[in-house]
Amino acid sequence: MGLHERYARLLSDAPDVFMAGRKEREEELRKQLSVLFDSMMKAVYKTEGAQLSIDILSTPQVREFIESHSSVLDSSFEKVEMSDAMRKRLHRSDFIFSGIKTFHELNEAFPSLIDENGERKPFERFLNDVRSIDQTYNSNYLRAEYNFVSASAEMAAKWDGFMQDGDRYNLQYRTQKDDKVRPEHAALDGVTLSPSDPFWAEFYPPNGWNCRCTVVQVRKSKYPVTPHDEAMRLGDEALQRDSKGIFRFNPGLEQKTVPDYNPYTIHRCRDCDIAKGKISFAKFIPDNHLCEACRFLRTCRSYETVKRVWEYVKELKNEVTVLNNVTASRLQTGTYYQTKKTFGRAIGHARDLEQAEMYEAIRMHLDDMVFLRHSPLGEGKDLSNPKDRKNVDVKRHRGVSGYNKYSLIQGDDSWIITMEVYKNRSETIYHVLKKE
């Protein structure tokens, strides 16, 4: 069974409960994505070779589409109250999901470049032939995904609040009690258990596309506790149509809007150590094209990492020491131009005037910084020197995955800022900025 058949089957029993008032907004976002889809197809049309290269994910057109799709999903919970930490994690989940979904669209479009005679099609014909992909992924599927992300985020925020109270209250499963509630979900209505019961790890809402079920806190003295085995049986019956086990996750526990194992991923994603953050990217060797795309998305444009660095850089605003009256003699004595705060190992001070000027340029032109690409550690370096090879090996041992590159336009000059991101054994994340 192909992707479309599997996905359509999952959606077939989901009632259409797209909230009133959202349809106009949905259509507006849909048109924006359609324009970006056409632009992305231009990048596909320019590709050469018999197989789609993973590098296409770095092209500006594809990056813009992924980020825009992610923003659409983000908008579904922009008014939901939650902690900043939870919101950042959910935004990151949206980005990874959008990237993997986009990769499927690109893979599906790529074969349409060639006509029945083995010749490359004119662009207009190619674009016309792939329009159905846009309609399927970014209209038909997006509606259910938008609702699911919205529900997941709301329930994740609730879970965050529940955890602050510990086991002081029990949790109770509730439906909307109307004619749109699926019978199998209605059977779960009233299930009451402590927050620590394993039931909530598998059957915490949403439990399907367009699921509107919720969970509330209740006083322990008011409602009897449901026997664990009975609750698990009811949960299994409620998700019996979910034969793949896609919806058996808790968005609050996992801090994700969409589980790692979803219609766009492979079965091994369910237990992938990379998704769970258990091993370094440097040690991970992808075993297929999809795993390679996942690794690329998580390393080169990890929403969480980029947002953290952006915050670091923004904090440099008004923090860089004024450089007036700096003399060459002071530079020669090793004077550092300290910021008022430290930012990792190397971003916290300028060792010379050039580096200090770079920080000042960042401070003055934050809005002009744009992501370029990800480069593996050591790429483009002359490693003939044993000292350089040892330095790279040491960094790999610490978990260095590579470099994220950003460009900064300052007037007529172009800066290339290299950002090295890695963790040490204490899980401290360092960001090293330097000018190329």
Q: Is the pLDDT of residue 14 over 50?
A: no
Instruction: State the pLDDT at residue 278.
Output: 58
Instruction: State the pLDDT at residue 168.
Output: 92
Question: Across 49-53, 73-77, 288-292, 333-337, which has the greatest mean pLDDT?
Answer: 73-77
Residue 333, both tokens: 């004595």
R_g over Cα of the chain = 25
Sequence-separated (6 or more) residues with CB below 8 Å from residue 211? 14, 148, 151, 182, 185, 205
Q: Residue 96: which of 233, 279, 297 has the closest Cα?
A: 297
Domain boundaries in the chain? 3-152+258-299, 157-254, 304-435
Q: How confident is the model at residue 155 (pLDDT cuts 50, 70, 90)?
A: very high
CA–CA separation, 276 and 64 (whole Å): 26
φ, ψ (nearest 5 deg) of residue 98: -65, -40
Average pLDDT, the chain: 75
Q: Evaluate whether 382 touches 388 at the Cβ level (below 8 Å).
A: yes
Instruction: State the pLDDT at residue 108.
Output: 93
φ, ψ (nearest 5 deg) of residue 14: -90, 120
Q: Is the pLDDT of residue 58 over 70?
A: yes
Q: Is the pLDDT of residue 241 over 60?
A: yes
Instruction: State the pLDDT at residue 173.
Output: 97
Query: What are the tens digits of pLDDT across the range 328-366?
Result: 333 333 333 333 333 333 333 444 555 555 555 555 555
Instruction: State the pLDDT at residue 285.
Output: 52
More reliable by pLDDT, 345 or 33: 33
Instruction: State the pLDDT at residue 84.
Output: 85
Query: What are the tens digits of pLDDT across the range 359-418?
Result: 555 555 555 555 455 566 766 667 788 888 888 888 777 766 666 555 554 444 555 555
Mean pLDDT of 286-292: 73
- Percentage of the chain exceeding pLDDT 70: 63
Model-wide pTM > 0.85: no
Residue 199, both tokens: 């039931």
More reliable by pLDDT, 344 or 225: 225
Q: How confident is the model at residue 39 (pLDDT cuts 50, 70, 90)?
A: very high
More reliable by pLDDT, 179 or 338: 179
CA–CA separation, 269 and 71 (whole Å): 24
Sequence-separated (6 or more) residues with CB below 8 Å from residue 165? 217
Instruction: State the pLDDT at residue 325.
Output: 38
Instruction: State the pLDDT at residue 299.
Output: 57
Instruction: State the pLDDT at residue 394.
Output: 80
More reliable by pLDDT, 266 or 247: 247
CA–CA separation, 252 and 220 (whole Å): 22
Q: Is the pLDDT of residue 237 over 60?
A: yes
More reliable by pLDDT, 215 or 143: 215
φ, ψ (nearest 5 deg) of residue 287: -105, 0
Q: Which of 54-58, 214-218, 342-346, 351-355 shows the lowest mean pLDDT across its residues?
A: 342-346
Mean pLDDT of 74-84: 92
Mean pLDDT of 220-246: 91
Instruction: State the pLDDT at residue 357.
Output: 55
CA–CA separation, 59 and 61 (whole Å): 6
How far is residue 186 from each of residues 118, 182, 203, 209, 348, measured CA to CA in Å? 54, 6, 13, 15, 56
Q: Which of 173-177, 193-197, 388-392 shows the lowest mean pLDDT across its residues?
A: 388-392
Q: Evaluate whether 13 touches 182 at the Cβ level (below 8 Å).
A: yes
Instruction: State the pLDDT at residue 361.
Output: 56
Q: Is the pLDDT of residue 197 over 80?
A: yes
102-138 per-residue burial string, b: 16 or more CB within 10 A, e: under 16: bbbbbbbbbebbeeeeeeebeeeebbebbeebbebbb
Please name the amino acid found at residue 409: I
